[in-house]
Structures are given as structure tokens and as C-alpha cells.
Structure 1
Amino acid sequence: MRITVVGGTGLIGARLVRRLGADGHEVVAASRATGVNAYTGEGLAEALDGSNVVIDVSNSSYLDERGAQDFFYASTLNLLTFGAAAGVGHHIALSVVGTDRLAAGQGGYFIAKAQQQRLILESGRPFTIVHATQFFEFVRSIADQATRSGVAHAADVLIQPMAADDVAAAVAAAVGDGPVDDIVENAGPEVFELGELLRRALRHDGRQVVADPLGTYFGAAVGRRDLLPGSGARLATTRFSDWQEAAR
């Protein structure tokens, strides 16, 4: 099977390209680094030519609502349009567990992700939207975003993060499953208090972590369980402590 991975040189994309290639697929790693720009459409027709599946794991470098909306709207519309013209039979996109809840909390980036999902849902194209919880690799970024005067103010919420390798595996599994025309949720094996997770991530950092009932999550107001998947989520196996040990 020929598969085009948009964002194929990024954190998830590079892992996904290796995994799909090892599974025997012909994989095109499409990114600006390889001359393909989903936002402008540059090189997209060539990258999708002959592909059975397109996988979008690209991300906006803008976290504000306007910048993220502009990126996700243009790139998703291009992928759907160029994909239809190329006869692509399965559009797979990676998104975030709780996107609609986070968008409702006025998280600008998540409003843009919700818009991306609506474009796919309403496109009439065969699709799978893979929802994943936060990556272990970004836990320190959560702490950095929440740090003020040397103290990390963690939102008083629960979180069930997963390793980037497991996210790539979840996206690859969607290829084998075929289009489900629905959202498939994936999460890690453990539920944490966000504050406790940040303390583990910052154990050699020296920063204080406090649970803040007014804390936000990348700008979004979040409820206690808004970052958690539903009961039918597929659970990965990598535990945070094991990932930490392997990453040392």
C-alpha cells in the first residue's frame, strides 16, 4: 500500500514513517523539509499521486486561535481536495482527546483543531480521526507554559498521557483497520493528577509545582476530567516511569 504521511519528518511523523515502512508499505514522507507544503499546496499533488492513504500528523507552529485556525483550515481543505482528486481512499488525521471540550473552554489552538475535525467529518471522504492524549514528550512543555515566577501552576485536573511511539502505533493501526468514519480514542495506561505528573517530570529541575484551581491548559479552561478519554479508549502499554528511564 502506498501511504503519504503529511508531517512525516516530525515527532510522530518520523516514527510513523519508520513503522509503516517496516510493515512493508511504500511511504512518502511529506513535509516542508521534503518540498511538500500542505498549507500552500506546493508539491501536494505529486506527494499524493498513487497513494491509497493520506495521514495528517502535521501541526501548526502557531498556538493562538487565528494562526492555528488559518493553518488547519487551509491545510486540511487542501488535503481533502487534493486527496479526492488523487483518488485517496482513506484520510487519517491525528487530533487530541477532548478537543471539543477544550475548544469550549476557549482554548484557541483547540478551537482550530475542532474546526479541522468538522472539515473532515463533513467532507464526505472516508476517514478516521485518531484522538490521542498528551504525549510524555510534551509534559515539560505543559510545565513551562504554566510556570510563573519559578512556580508551575498545574490545572487541578486528571491526565492520561502516552508515549510518542505509542501514538505512532495507534495511527499505524488505523491504516490496517480501514476507514471507520469516526473518532478512535487512544490513551496511556495510567491516570495522573496533572500536578503529580509535572512533579515527576521536574524531579531534577527544582521548580515547585502547585495545583491551581484557576490554572489553564495551554490557555483553555478545563474541567476535572476533560483531558481523559471515554471508557472505550484503546490503552497503550508504556508507563511514564519506564519511558523516563529509557529516555535517560
Structure 2
Amino acid sequence: MKVVVIGGTGLIGSKVVARLGEHGHEAVAAAPNTGVNALTGEGLAEALAGADVVVDVSNSPSFEDAAVLEFFTTSTRNLLAAEAAASVGHHVALSVVGTERLQQSGYFRAKAAQEKLIEDGAVPYSIVRATQFFEFVKAMADAAAEGDSVRFAPVLFQPIVSDEVAQAVGRTAVGSPVKGMVEVAGPEQFRMDRFFREALAFRGDPREVVTDPQARYFGAEVGERTLLPGAEATLGEVRFGTWPGRDGAGR
């Protein structure tokens, strides 16, 4: 099976390419640095020739409202058009658990727009929604920073290691289109403020974690269960406390 992975040189994409290759599939890493640009359309037709499945795990280089909306809508339209022309039978996209509940955020409005284009398109599809990645601890803390402190609401979330996200995406790619969404999440729920207090301390990050019930998540208000997956989610096995990357070495 030929699977083209858009964003195939990034954190998730490179893992998806490797997993598919290990299972005997022809996995092609497609990204601007390999001559394939979904935003401009450059190289798409050539990359998709003979493809059975296209996996889109690309992400916007900018989270500014207009830029991120432009990225996800334009790149998705380009991909779906190229897939239809190449008779691709399955479009798989990576999205985020809780997207529809986070519409005060420009980023999540853009992800919702991407999902809608896929759902309304002609190519059979599957959308894999994942919770926050362990690897994004520092980035999430930086986004919540105010001076020498970071502010998080005491809401629940259920982060997951990126390896298990890649596993879910790869598994979905080689299966039949679900024509809907599947969710993946980590095995444990945490209070976000407590989690970051412990995680930053473990990494030697001196910033104070302030519990703030009004703190926003990438611009959106969050409730107790806004970030949690549904009851049918597939849960990973790796726990944050035993994850080798917990101390942030090399990050």
C-alpha cells in the first residue's frame, strides 16, 4: 500500500512513516523540505501518483488567527483536489480532541474548518483526534507564560505520548475509512495546573505555576471536561511519570 504522509518529516509524520515502512508499506514523507507543499500545491500531483492513502499530519507554522485559518483551509482544499484527481481512496487527518468546544481560539476554529472540508469532500476519510502530547509540555507552558510564571486552570486533561498517536494514525491509515472521527488519549487524567507544577519542577524549570480558574487554553475558555476525550476513545499505555522524555533532556 502506498501511503503519502503530508508533514512526513515532523514529530508525528516521521514516526508514521517509520511505522508504516516497518509493516511493509510504501510510506512517502511529503513536506516542503522534500519538495511537496500542500499550501502552494507544489509537488502534490507527483507525490500522490499511485497513492492509496494520504495522511495529513501537517501543522501551521503560525498560530495567528488569519494565518492558521489560511493554512488549514487552503492546504486541505489542495490535498482533497489532488487526491480526487489521483483516485486516492482514503484521506486521514490528525486533529485535536475537544476542537468543537474550543471555538474561541483561532487555532481551533481553523481545525474545525479543516474537519468540515474533509467531511464535505468527495474522498472517503478518517479523522484521528488526539489529546495533548507529552512532548509539548514546554510549548504549552510557554504559551501560558506571564513573566516568570505560567497560568493554568484546574481543569482535567489526558495527555498522550507522540509514539502512540503515530501508532493510531498508522493503524487508521491502513484500515477502511471510518467516515467519521476516532479519538486517542493517554491512560491518565490530570488537573492541568498540578500536572504542570510537577512537570516543570521535574525539568528544572523555575517558573511558578499559578492556578487560575480564568486561564485560557490557546485563547479559549476551558471547563472541567473540555479537553477530555469521549468514552469510546482508544487509550495509550505510556504514563507520563515513566516516560523517558519526562526530564526534557535534549528539548
Question: With structure 2 as the length reference, what TM-score do the two structures score?
Answer: 0.95
Counterpart of 1:120 (choices 96, 118, 121) is 118
3-state secondary structure, aligned to 1:170 = helix
Counterparts of 1:243 and 1:198, CA distance in 2: 15
1:176 Cα deviation from its structure 2 partner: 2.9
Q: Does 1:44 align with 2:44?
A: yes
3-state secondary structure, aligned to 1:61 = coil
Question: With structure 1 as the length reference, what TM-score do the two structures score?
Answer: 0.96
Q: Does 1:141 align with 2:136?
A: no
Q: Which amino acid aligns with 2:7?
A: G
Q: Does 1:107 align with 2:105?
A: yes
- The corresponding residue for 1:193 is 191
- For the 8 Å contact 1:127–1:180, the answer to whether it is kept is yes
Counterparts of 1:244 and 1:155, CA distance in 2: 26
- The corresponding residue for 1:165 is 163
- The corresponding residue for 1:69 is 69
Gaps of 5+ in 1: none
Counterparts of 1:17 and 1:49, CA distance in 2: 17
4+ runs deviating over 2 angstroms: 244-248
- The corresponding residue for 1:18 is 18
Q: Deviations over 1:175-209 (max 9, x none)?
A: 23210100001000000000111112211112111
Q: Does 1:9 align with 2:9?
A: yes
- For the 8 Å contact 2:154–2:194, the answer to whether it is kept is no
- For the 8 Å contact 1:153–1:215, the answer to whether it is kept is yes
- For the 8 Å contact 2:88–2:123, the answer to whether it is kept is no
3-state secondary structure, aligned to 2:72 = helix
- For the 8 Å contact 1:140–1:198, the answer to whether it is kept is no
Counterparts of 1:32 and 1:72, CA distance in 2: 15
1:246 Cα deviation from its structure 2 partner: 6.8
- The corresponding residue for 1:207 is 207
Counterparts of 2:187 and 2:56, CA distance in 1: 25
1:173 Cα deviation from its structure 2 partner: 1.0
Greater CA drift, 140-149 or 21-30: 140-149
- The corresponding residue for 1:30 is 30
Identity of aligned residues (%): 54
- For the 8 Å contact 2:8–2:29, the answer to whether it is kept is yes
3-state secondary structure, aligned to 1:190 = coil
Q: Which amino acid aligns with 2:146?
A: R
- For the 8 Å contact 2:154–2:193, the answer to whether it is kept is yes
1:35 Cα deviation from its structure 2 partner: 0.4
Gaps of 5+ in 2: none
Counterparts of 2:223 and 2:64, CA distance in 1: 21
Counterparts of 2:245 and 2:57, CA distance in 1: 27
- For the 8 Å contact 2:118–2:125, the answer to whether it is kept is yes
